[in-house]
Amino acid sequence: MKTSKLGLDFEKVDAARAAASEIAASVMDFAAKRTTTSVERATLRMMGVEGADAEGVHWVNRVVDSPTGRDLLAHGLSVPFADAVARTGMDASETARAVAAGSVEMAMPSGEALEHAVAAAEDLAADSFRRIRTQRSRRQESLAELGEGERPLLYVIVATGNIFEDVDQARVAAKAGAQVIAVIRSTAQSLLDYIPEGPTTEGFGGTFATQANFRIMRDALDEVSREEGRYIRLCNYASGLCMPEMSCLGAMERLDVMLNDALYGILFRNINMQRTLTDQRFARLAAAAGGFIINTGEDNYLTTADAAKSEHTVLASDLINEQIALRCGLQPEQLGLGHAMQMNPWSEDMFLKEVAMAQLVREVFPGCPIKYMPPTKYMTGNIFRGHVQDALFNMAAVMTDQGIHLLGMMTEAMHTPHIHDRYLALESGAMIRQAARHLGDEIEFKEGGIVRGYAAEVLENTCALLEQIRREGLFDAISRGVFADVRRHMDSGRGLDGVALRADDYRNPVESMLSLMAGVKGE
């Protein structure tokens, strides 16, 4: 029998999860009938296409945007591209350049040539899959050998704009106790419909996410992991208009955590919902194959909506995200489902309600690491008050056994944190984690009290919301502003022109290989 410090009615939890499962099934059925330019680009990358043109645009973009690329999008490009490789005798990258130049055209083969092309596509992707398996094994071996320290894992960001300066800051943070290093992307990279090529040294509010930058930071964190005697996890983004490609690159370069949310790009970046959810299906197959943790973005909802009134939307979205992820082969231990401490610090019993929400999320998702985001909405630039707010947040995280703890910075709302800001945040997080290590084990919440009452109210509202979304559909719910008080519509937003309904003869052997590796049946 399940036990609960909150006295939860687990029949209601089961009902909420069942409604979320139906919602997720509908969304995944919708996505499985479509493809996108970014799905096809990710497929070509997995088949070995490398390099970029003189303008820095990757060859996969040029292939997809070529006349035959656009004509064949609905049929899938992996098979006609593999056929072109076989016909020309060139390798994948050379063939991509020739297709981009117009000297080679792609065409969908038929009959025996079709079966040969499918086999050729699988052969072209074999090296990428071997690389992903090797990277998974290296992660598992490193964690077994070095461990990663106590949870919640202390998670900090670097965001200089220069990958080499990021490395310096990451090393300092790791030596100060950080267990997860997140490289923040340059502002608005999620809206770029291509991934820059090579190492980058100029960014805006962050550093461009590129395959080379992933590799540079991974190598640096492997080195500092050996020095510190504990494995340091690397985090970046699998979101935006290049979500599937980012996820594949993350799997190949051994990222350990990637931000990947069902709704964030729709709500906060105005990316078309058809594009985002179709892209996400492929991206999560790659995440499952790569074995990394995904962080979801519900923690951001309460930056635009009132936490006291909208906590149930966070839990509802967590449940939908969970069910979508499970359908893509992700395991519970890979689900860093998001929530945040965003109540007004001057509101009465705010801390009790925040603890109630954190404990509720913990109990609803017992097998997941859970990502807890610090206060940002009510940070004012008063660094002393901010440090106190972050300390309360640190205490709530330890009390409720959170898995991934995104540390707050006292200089939030002022500037990108300096190294010494991160040091103070790490010191506070580590001190409170040590001082209150077993506090959660000692606490029970009284029946009829504030904590249990607030958690029960949030769960009740979550059940009602999910039942409503189950009836109307997720797309309509988003359109009326259910999440984050932001309205988006089915046919609005960026990237819709990159979505295509799959033709009857659509083939994607790479997707099938990802599904097999992710343990997803029927793909």
377 is catalytic: no
Strands (E), 79-187: 153-158, 180-183
24 touches 324 (CB < 8 A): yes
354: amino acid identity, one letter: E
Q: Which residue, among 252, 254, 255, has the nearest Cα to 295 in the 3D structure?
A: 255
Task: Report the distance separating Cα 237 and Cα 257, nearest Å.
Answer: 8
477 forms beta bridges with none
**What's the half-sphere exposure (Cβ side, CA atoms, 13 Å) at 66?**
26
The DSSP code sequence of 12-51 is HHHHHHHHHHHHHHHHHHHHHTEEEHHHHHHHHHHTT---
441 is catalytic: no
**What's the half-sphere exposure (Cβ side, CA atoms, 13 Å) at 307?**
25
258: left (phi over 0), alpha (psi -120 to 50) or beta: beta
**What's the half-sphere exposure (Cβ side, CA atoms, 13 Å) at 3?**
3
Helix (H) or strand (E) holding 477: helix 474-479
263 touches 483 (CB < 8 A): yes
188: left (phi over 0), alpha (psi -120 to 50) or beta: left
483 touches 313 (CB < 8 A): yes
Q: Which of 5, 166, 279, 371 is catalytic?
A: 371
64 touches 44 (CB < 8 A): yes
Compute CA 239 distance to the chain's CA centroid, rounded to the nearest angstrom. 6
Task: Report the distance separating Cα 410 and Cα 383, nearest Å.
Answer: 5
Strands (E), 127-170: 153-158
Helices 78-88 and 111-146, packing angle to 10 deg:
110
**Exposure b/e, 276-295, CB count within 10 A at least 16 = b:** bbbbbbbbbbbbbbbbbbbb
Q: Which of 256, 299, 318, 421 is catalytic?
A: 299
Q: Which of 155, 194, 231, 264 is catalytic?
A: 264
Task: Report the distance separating Cα 368 and Cα 401, nearest Å.
Answer: 11
371 is catalytic: yes
The DSSP code sequence of 349-411 is THHHHHHHHHHHHHHHSTTS--EEEPP-TT--S-HHHHHHHHHHHHHHHHHTT-SEEE---TT
> 446 by DSSP, 3-state: which?
coil
What token pair was written down for 241?
């208009």
Write out the catalytic residue numbers.
264, 299, 371
